[in-house]
Amino acid sequence: MSLKPQAPAEAPADAISHSWVNAAPAAFKPYLRLARLDRPIGIWLLFLPCIFGLALGAAAQPRDAANVLKFVALFAIGSLAMRGAGCTYNDIVDRDIDASVARTRERPIPSGAVSVTSAWIFLFLQSAIGLLVLLQFNLFTEMIGASSLVLVAIYPFMKRITWWPQAWLGLTFNWGVLVGYAAMTGRLALPALLLYAGCIFWTLGYDTIYAHQDKEDDALIGVKSTARLFGEGSRTWIAAFYAATVGLIAAAMFESQRASVSVLFLVPAAAHLAWQALSLNTNDARNCLKLFRANRDTGILIAAALVLARFIG
């Protein structure tokens, strides 16, 4: 794999302006951008569902602190590697579409900074790291984790065939809930499935917000999304998705511990989601990006609720 960029590439419009990636050596910068390391929100949104699953699993089968911290560290490394691998694969598949969209045409592959061959090699290296992480868990968890590759492989094509690619992203990005729960307990159970379902609705909400940044370009090139499907009615749909998120996560917490008081810990997360729905301006790309990124904080609040429920609920 040649690390020498074939053409200069500007930082994407939705990247963090002060990212450390901007100061990286020129030869490595396109690959760091290909892995979206200048946009860490995706890493958070992949990592936090793993923590949700761990926290809920801890209520069913407590483990010592050393084991839990080990799992957290493994999921952090795995999320970093697999988010990068997923983005690399997505950019390989979508390189022609990305070249037609203002926000994505400066990504490394469509801009020419990284060749398709080099991108495939980079994808393999990142996937190898993810595999090494997965092999640290029990066999059942390894099987659950490996099965997510089917979802990952299909995802880039969903925007071509359905108005609901955000739902497929929800299935994919929140698989860590099931992996985290299985890592703690060695099985799956109803609370994990309820939590997974709640997180799917969460992704439906935040990725619809994200998709509003590209709706004009998507309409021109025929790419489908819930943002285009819902149009001006998006706020109502997003509010409904977020309400389902809170309801299903609350049900998971109650089913896990049978302690109704524990669901009160979700109030801050619910308030944060309500703020997003009320603040949304689907015709303002900066507003959409701000609210999408705010879901890192939503995830932290959900994780805090699940941890508190484990110890206090």
The domains of the chain are located at 26-311
Strand segments (E) across 16-157: none
pLDDT 10s per residue in the chain (313 long)? 444 444 444 555 555 667 788 888 888 999 999 999 989 999 999 999 999 999 999 988 877 888 899 999 999 999 999 999 999 999 999 888 888 877 778 889 998 899 999 999 999 999 999 999 999 999 999 999 999 999 999 999 999 999 999 999 999 999 999 999 999 999 999 999 999 999 999 999 999 999 999 898 888 888 899 999 999 999 999 999 999 999 999 999 988 876 677 789 999 999 999 999 999 999 999 999 999 999 999 999 999 999 998 777 5
CATH topology of domain 26-311: Tetracycline Repressor; domain 2 (1.10.357)
Amino acid in position 264: L
